[in-house]
Amino acid sequence: MAEIYIRCAEIIDAANLVVLKQQVWVATYAEEGIRAEFSDYLLATFTLENEKALLENPLKKTLVAEQNGHLIGCAVMAFDEECPIPATGHNPELAVLYVLEHFTGMGYGKTLLDKALQIIKESGLDAVWLTVYHKNNRAIKFYRKHGFTDIGQAFFEMQGNQYENRVLINRFRKSE
């Protein structure tokens, strides 16, 4: 694994983050190709304006992973989101953990995840949750390998269509 540098994202990273998120989203969810609802969602969601607002929100924290000065991944922790499964406590969501396809399977996702978990633990919280598309077996396997357990389902809605997601949680041990 080539060395990567992980740091907090800055406004100057916004355009690169938009492109990275669009690329990873398409590679993950457009398994059968692109259709209007996907394009509409991407163009409305992953915008420069939205990304800058996210980076300026004190309840969201974005990490970027760089290799040789090039952005290859990101993680977004949302400290203001409520888990769709009751009785999980007020813990943050790992809203995004994206690594460009070319760099998957090389340990970069684990490095980003470890840094995000470290930040959450240092905040005094005892767990983190996330949602993952139920057909994204690679991601589900990755999260399970790193201490997440499946606690239920939630649905992502896009233009009247519902897509099943699994809700996973990682509860930190007291000694961590």
- 112: CB partners within 8 A, 6+ apart: 6, 63, 65, 73, 74, 75, 97, 99
Q: Which of the pair, 161 or 65, is modelled with greater confidence?
A: 65
pLDDT at res. 176: 46
Is 94:130 a contact under the CB 8 Å cutoff?
Answer: yes
* Rounded average pLDDT over 2-11: 93
Quick one: tokens of 134? Answer: 């139920």
If one counts every other C-beta atom within 10 angstroms of the C-beta of residue 93, the result is 20
What's the pLDDT tens digit per position in 50-84? 999 999 999 999 999 999 999 999 999 999 999 99
pLDDT confidence of 174, banded at 50, 70, 90? low
Is 77:95 a contact under the CB 8 Å cutoff?
Answer: yes
Place of tokens 């057909």: 135
d(CA 174, CA 176): 6
User: With b meaning 16 or more CB within 10 Å and e meaning fewer, what string describes 48-77?
Assistant: eeebbebbeeeebbbbbbbbeeebbbbbbb
pTM score above 0.75 = yes
Please give the full DSSP string across 49-73, using - where no structure is assigned.
HHHHHHHH-TTEEEEEEEETTEEEE
pLDDT at 12 over 90: yes
Place of tokens 């989101």: 81
pLDDT at res. 1: 62
Q: Which helix (H) or strand (E) holds 23?
A: helix 14-29
d(CA 52, CA 96): 16
pLDDT at res. 161: 82
